[in-house]
């Protein structure tokens, strides 16, 4: 009978142990309310500090905003999503802003292909917006909004910013601007 009871509760004990570990990682970042829209530089500085406090070897794996928080002409967004990866912990930390909330959570697992971002990579979202306006001003005048996302080339993890244009109704412009994330140079305009 004792063996049956222990066996029956073993999955619950494992679940509780796993939850405690995940909760400890979540405690690195307390949820904040009434957070104003931020530039990429502001959100990155705040997030990098949290990520390095979580795991010293944390590196940026994905950076971008969503169409629910398009970048304005000052480079601010209300909806950022940043992911940092720790090889030591074999886990990633996701940090987001949305509807005035700043949240983060950690979870085990790989982060996929990580862009080779140099310490001085371009994090001036105002400059990225200016590039978006220069290369797609006709879309902005039609009510399209700007979103950015990092990417990593399959062969060498070359880091780029992908600038895209969308509307609140989900419509997308047929244009993507690719910018070298380390130098800020425009590489391609895809139509």
- Give the pLDDT of the chain (191 residues) as one tens digit per residue: 444 433 343 333 333 334 334 434 555 678 899 999 999 999 999 999 999 999 999 999 999 999 899 999 999 999 999 999 999 999 999 999 998 999 999 999 999 999 999 999 999 999 999 999 999 999 999 999 999 999 999 999 999 999 999 998 989 999 999 999 999 999 999 99
Considering the entire predicted model, what is its pTM? 0.84
Q: What is the pLDDT of residue 24?
A: 45
- Write the pLDDT tens digit of every residue in 71-113: 999 999 999 999 999 999 999 999 999 989 999 999 999 999 9
3-state SS track over the chain: CHHHHHHHHHHHHHHHHHHHHHHHHHCCCCCECCCCCEEHHHHHHHHHHHHHHHCCCCEEEEEEECCCCCECCCCEECCEEEEEEECCCCEEEEEEEECCEEEEEEEECCCCCCCCCCCCCCCCHHHHHHHHHHHHHHHHCCCCEEEEEEEECCCCCCEEEEEEEECCCCCEEEEEEEEECCCCCEEEEEC
């Amino acid at each position: 009978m004792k063996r049956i009871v222990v066996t029956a509760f073993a999955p619950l004990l494992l679940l509780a142990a796993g939850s405690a570990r995940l909760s400890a990682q979540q405690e690195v970042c307390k949820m904040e309310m009434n957070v104003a829209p931020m530039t990429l530089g502001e959100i990155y500085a705040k997030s990098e500090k949290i990520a390095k406090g979580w795991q010293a070897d944390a590196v940026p794996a994905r950076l971008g905003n969503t169409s629910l928080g398009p970048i304005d002409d000052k480079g601010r967004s209300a909806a950022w999503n940043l992911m940092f990866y720790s090889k030591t912990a074999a886990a990633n930390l996701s940090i987001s802003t949305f509807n005035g909330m700043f949240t983060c959570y950690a979870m085990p697992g790989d982060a996929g292909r990580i862009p080779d971002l140099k310490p001085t990579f371009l994090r001036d979202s105002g400059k990225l917006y200016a590039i978006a306006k220069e290369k797609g001003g006709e879309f902005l005048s039609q009510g399209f909004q700007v979103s950015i996302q990092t990417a990593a080339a399959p062969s060498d993890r070359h880091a780029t910013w992908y600038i895209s244009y969308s509307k609140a109704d989900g419509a997308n412009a047929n244009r993507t601007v690719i910018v070298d994330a380390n130098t800020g140079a425009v590489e391609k305009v895809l139509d």
